[in-house]
Structure 1
Amino acid sequence: PTTVPTTVPTSPAVPTATTAPTATPAPTVAPIATPQVTTINAADLTKQLSELAIGSHELVIPVKATTSGAQVVLPGSVLVQQAAAQPNTVLTFTTAGTSYSLPLSVINSAALTAQLGSSDFTITVSILLADSGTLNRTNQAISSQLGNATLAAPVIDFSVSAQAGTKLVPLNSFGSTYVNRMINVPSSLNSNNATAVVFDPATGKISFVPAIFTPKADGTTDVTIKRNSNSYYTVVKTSKTFGDLNGHWAKASINLLASKLIVSGTNNDTFSPSQSITRAEFAALITRSLGLSTVGGEASFKDVNPSAWYADAIRTAAEAELISGYSDGSFKPGSPITRQEMASVLAKAIKYTGKTLNADPAALAKFSDAVSIPAWSQAAITEIATAGIIQGATDGSFAPQKLATRAEAVTMLEKTLKYLQFIN
C-alpha cells in the first residue's frame, strides 16, 4: 500500500534576538623582556667574601638573566670595606653566555660620595643585550668601515653605575685598570680573522679592543675582552691583506693587525711596508692597540693642529703619558719616528697596563753599538729587548737613530700585544 505523506504543521515564527557584534581582538604584542635583577644584601655579600680561599682574590657569582640580560645590585659599603682590606679583590658575575669582572679597586668611594651627596650608595653591574636601534647602528658601522666583515656575536652593553636615592653616576672610565668581560660566540672562531670591537654610540664607529679567543669543546668560542672603560662590545669576522706584501717578511704581522683594525694601508690595496712612519702615525697606532677611549680637551702641543686627523690620538696618548714632546712645547707630528723613540713609547705602553718589565743588561750588551745608545733611551731599549719585543739590525747593531719603517712598527706592536696578552 502507498504511504500517504503526513503534513507537519508549521510552528509560528519565533522572533530571533539580535546578536551583538563580536569585538576583534587586538593583536597580541609580546612584552619587552626586562633584565633579571639580582640584589645581594650586605650580609650575604660579606659572608661570600669571607669564605674566599686564602690567597684567592676572585669571587665568582653566577646570576640569572632574561633574554635581555642581567643586572646585579650590590651594597657599596661592603665593596668599599673589602677594597680597603683586600685591594686586589675582583667580583666576577657570570650568566649563560657572558661574564663581567669588576675589580673593587676601581670604585672611588670619596669621588662617588661627593658626586652622589651620600656615602650610602649601591653599585649596579649591568650586562644587557643591545636594543634593536643600537644593533642596527653597529651593523651599519661594520658595513661602512669594514665592508666585507660580519657580526659574529651579540652586541652587549656592559656598564657599571652607582646610585644613592634618585642620583645615578655611571662608572665608565677605570684609568689604566683593564677590566675583563667575556662574550661566548656560538661558533668556532680563528683569532687571526676575527676581532673584538667596541661600538661608540656618540661617533657611530667601531674600533679594536684587546681580547683573547679561547675555543671550547662544544664548538663555541669564549672571547675575553680587556678594556679600561665600558660601552657596547661584540665580535666581528674580518680579514685584510695588501697587494704589495707578497713575499714580505712582515706580511703575516701586517695582515693580522690590519684585520684587527689597528693598522691601515697607505691606500686600500697598498701598505708600503718600507716607508718610514711618523710620530703622529705611531701615536695613533699605540692608542688603537691599547683600546684607549679618545680624550677631549685642548691640544697637548703647540704644533698639533686641533683639526688634524691625528690630534685626538696625540692628545689621548699624551694624557696616558705614552708620548712626550720637545722642550720647546712641540711634538713634531710629521717627523719620522726613530727606533729608540718607538722603544720608549712601547715600554711606557706596557707599564701603563700594569705589566712589569724586566731589564737584563745582557739584552742591551748584545748590540754592537750599545755604548752609543743615548742615556735617555737606554732603560727602555733594555726592557723592550729583554722582553723580546725589539731586535737588532742585521749587522748586530741596534741603530737607535735609524728611522723605523711601517713594517718594523707593526711587528713590534704585534709582539707588544702578545706580551700583554691583548691578542692571541
Structure 2
Amino acid sequence: VNNATEGRITDLKGATPTPTPTPGNPSTGGGPVVTPAPTATATATPAPTAAPQVTTLTAETLTAQFAALPAGSNELVIPLTSTTGGAQAVLPASVLVQQAAANPAAVLTFNTTDGTSYSLPLSLVNGTALAAQLGTSNFTITVSILPASTTVLGSVNQALAAQAGSVTLAAPVIEFSISAQAGNNSVPLNSFGSTYVSRTIKATQTVNPDNATAVSFDPATGKLSFVPSVFTTQADGTTAVTIKRNSNSYYTVVQSSKTFGDITSHWAKSAIDLLASKLIITGTSDTAFSPSQSVTRAEFAALITRSLGLATASSSGTSFSDVNAGAWYADAVYTAAAAGLITGYTDGSFKPNSPITRQEMAAILSKAMKYTGKTLSSDPAALAKFSDAASLPAWSQTAIAEIAAEGIIQGQPDGSFAPQKSATRAEAATMLEKTLKALGFIN
C-alpha cells in the first residue's frame, strides 16, 4: 500500500477449474484453529442421508423461459421444491453459455419452498474452460442447496463452542454448491473472482442484525468466518438473511453478542461491539479491546480479508521476504495480495509488524470497495477540507479523496488528515463498519 506497483487482482472465474471437489473454503485471519474431533469408530451403519428433490430443465424449456422474460429484465427465477434432503437443479450448460453471451448481466435465481435461495450470474459459467476440463462441450450444470450432514453439524457445534462469548445457531446449516458434469466426470465451481454471489437463508426466529451474522464453515479447518450478510424481517416474523460471497461453502446464521470492559464510554464503542459480535474483530484479550493501540499492517490485512469474506488464496506468485509461511497472518497477507488489496515495498518486504498509517488504510479500503464492484468518485472537494491537503503524497491522494467522499474517513481534531499517523484499533473498527455499510455488506 505505497507507491509501488499495485498487485494484480486474481480472477478465478476464468481459470481452469479444479477437477476434484473441495470440502469448503478456508477462512482468513489469525488465532487458534479449531480442529474437529476425530470420529469414533462405529460398528453400526449410519442412517442414509435423504436424497434431494431434483428439478431438471431441458434446453427447450429453459430457452423458452428466458425468451419470455420482460424486456430489460436480467433475472430468471426458477422455483425448486425442497425436501428434507434439500433441492437440486440440473441445467443444460449450452443454454447458460448462450444466454450469458447474449446478456452478460443475466442471473438465474433458484427459490426453494423452504425459503432458501441462490442467485447465479451466468457470466460465471466459463463454458470454454469447463469443456476443456470435462473433455466435451455437452455438459450440465447442477446447482445444489443441501442441508448439512450430521457430521458437519457436529463440527459446526464444536466451532460454536470454541468462540469467545456466547455464539448460538439461529438458522439451518446449508451447503451451496455448483458443479459441471459430463458422464461420470464432475468439476466444482467454487471461486468466483471478485463477483459476489447472493444466497438467502431463512433464520428460525426474529434476529437482531446488531447481534447476529451469517458465517461460512470450513470442514477442513473447523473454522467459522464472517460473511457479508444483510437481515430483512419478513411479514411472518422470521428473518431472511441475504449472504454475499465470491465462493461456495457451508453457510448458516449465528447470534452473537460481544463487548469489552475498556470501551464502556469510548466514542467507537458501537462500531467495536458490532464488528466483534459479527466475528470480524477480536480483542487484545477476552475482556480488553485496547482501542488506542496502533494496528499493524498484518492485522489490517487480516481484518480486510475477513470483512470481505474472502476465502484463503495462495500467494499467486506474490511473495514477501519478511512474511513467513508459518506466521498467523501469512494466509491473510497473501489472500489480500492475490485480490490486489495490498502491495509490499520496493525492497520486497511487507513489514507486517509495522503500524499501518492512515493513508495506507485509505488506500486498502479504496481497493477493497472497488474489488467488490463499487464505483468511487475522487472528489477534489473531499480533499480540500483537510488543512494538510496540499502536502498529501501523490500516490495516496486519489484513495484518500475517494474514501473521504464516501464519509468513511474523517480528519483529525485540528482539521488535518495526518497521512503518516498510525491508525488506531478504534479508527480501524469505525472505518471498517462504515465501509461494510457503504457496500451493503451489513445492515
- TM-score when normalising by structure 1: 0.92
1:33 positional shift: 2.2
Residue aligned with 2:402, SS:
helix
What is the CA deviation profile of residues 276-318 of structure 1, one whole-angstrom value per residue up to 9, with x for unaligned ones? 1000000000000000001135772111111111001001000
Measured after TM superposition, the shift of residue 146 of structure 1 is 3.7
Residues 86, 145 of structure 2: 8 Å contact kept: yes
Query: 1:224 pairs with 223, 238, 242, which one?
Result: 242
Counterpart contact for 1:76–1:120, Cα < 8 Å: yes
Secondary structure of the equivalent of 2:163? helix
User: Which string of whole-angstrom CA distances, capped at 9 and with x for unpartnered residues, describes residues 49-92 of structure 1?
Assistant: 11111111111111111112100000000000000110000000
Please list the CA deviations of residues 86-112 of structure 1 after superposition, one character each: whole Å capped at 9, or x if unmatched: 000000000122000000011111110
Who is 1:46 aligned against?
63
Matches within 5 A, 1:251-270: 251-270=269-288
Q: Which structure has the higher relative contact order (CA within 8 Å, separation 6+)?
A: 2
> Which of these residues, 379, 387, 390, is aligned with residue 398 of structure 2?
379
Instruction: Name the residue aligned to 1:5.
Output: none
Letter in 2 for 1:357: L
Residue in 2 aligned with 1:185? 203
Once residues 177 and 126 of structure 1 are traced to their aligned partners in structure 2, the CA distance between those partners, rounded to angstroms, is 19
- Aligned match of 2:50: 33
**Letter matched to residue 413 of structure 1:** L
Return the alpha-carbon distance in structure 1 between the equivalents of residues 151 and 165 of structure 2.
Answer: 20
Structure 1: 5+ residue stretches without partners: 1-28
Contact 1:59–1:90, Cα closer than 8 Å, also in 2: yes
Q: Name the residue aligned to 1:423.
A: 442
Which letter does structure 1 place at the counterpart of 2:308? L
8 Å CA contact 1:61–1:91 kept in 2: the answer is: yes
Amino acid at match of 2:219: P
CA contact (8 A) 2:231 2:241 kept: yes
Q: Is the 8 A contact 2:180 2:187 kept in 1?
A: yes
Q: 1:78 aligns with which of 86, 90, 95?
A: 95
Q: Report Cα offsets for 1:99-157 as digits up to 9, x if no partner.
A: 00000011111110111011111000000011111011111111112452110000000
Helix, strand or coil at the partner of 2:263: coil
For 2:247, the aligned partner's letter is S
Q: Which amino acid aligns with 2:321?
A: K
Contact (CA 8 Å) 1:299, 1:305: kept in 2 or not?
A: no
- Letter of the structure 1 residue corresponding to residue 72 of structure 2: G
Q: CA deviation at 1:31?
A: 6.7
Q: Percent of aligned positions with the same letter in both sequences?
A: 70
Q: CA–CA distance in 2 between the matches of 1:30 and 1:296?
A: 38
CA offset digits 1:188-220 (Å, max 9, x no partner): 000000110000011011010000000112110
TM-score by length of 2: 0.88
In structure 2, give the amino acid aligned to 1:90: V
Deviation at 1:347, TM superposition (A): 0.2
Matched, 1:414 2:441: no
Q: What letter is aligned with 2:420?
A: Q
Aligned to 1:6: none
Residue type matched to 1:200 in 2? Answer: D
Structure 2 spans left out of the alignment, 5+ residues: 1-45
**1:138 and 2:156 are equivalent in the alignment:** yes
Q: Which residue of 2 aligns with 1:292?
A: 310
**Cα drift, residue 32 of structure 1:** 4.3
Deviation track 1:334-371 (CA, whole Å, cap 9, x = no partner) reads 00000000000000000001111112111111111100
Which residue in the other structure is 2:411 paired with? 392
Contact 1:299 1:306 (C-alpha < 8 Å) held by counterparts: no
Choose 1 or 2 for highest CA Rg. Answer: 1
Question: Take 1:403 and 1:188, find their aligned partners in 2: how far apart are those partners?
Answer: 40
Asked if the contact 2:212/2:278 (under 8 Å) is kept, the reply is yes
Q: Distance in 2 between matches of 1:185 and 1:35?
A: 21
Counterpart among 366, 369, 375 of residue 356 in structure 1: 375
Match 2:298 to one of 277, 280, 294: 280
**Matched residue pairs, number?**
396
Q: Report the equivalent of 1:92.
A: 109
Query: Which of 208, 211, 222 lines up with 1:204 in the alignment?
Result: 222
For residues 204-254 of structure 1, give each alpha carbon's deviation from its aligned partner in whole angstroms, at most 9, with x where no partner exists.
Answer: 110100000001121100000000000000000111000100110000100
- Say if 1:403 and 1:220 are closer, same or farther in 2 by CA, change over 3 A: same
Whole-angstrom CA distance in 2 between matches of 1:273 and 1:45: 55
1:301–1:329: 8 Å Cα contact kept in structure 2?
Answer: yes
C-alpha RMSD of matched pairs (Å) = 1.2
Determine the C-alpha separation between the residues in 2 that align with 1:147 and 1:95: 34
Q: What's the counterpart of residue 4 of structure 1?
A: none
C-alpha distance in 1, partners of 2:63/2:134? 24
What secondary structure, in the 3-state scheme, does the structure 2 residue paired with 1:113 have?
Answer: helix
Among 187, 191, 194, the residue aligned to 1:173? 191
8 Å Cα contact 1:299-1:311 kept in structure 2:
no
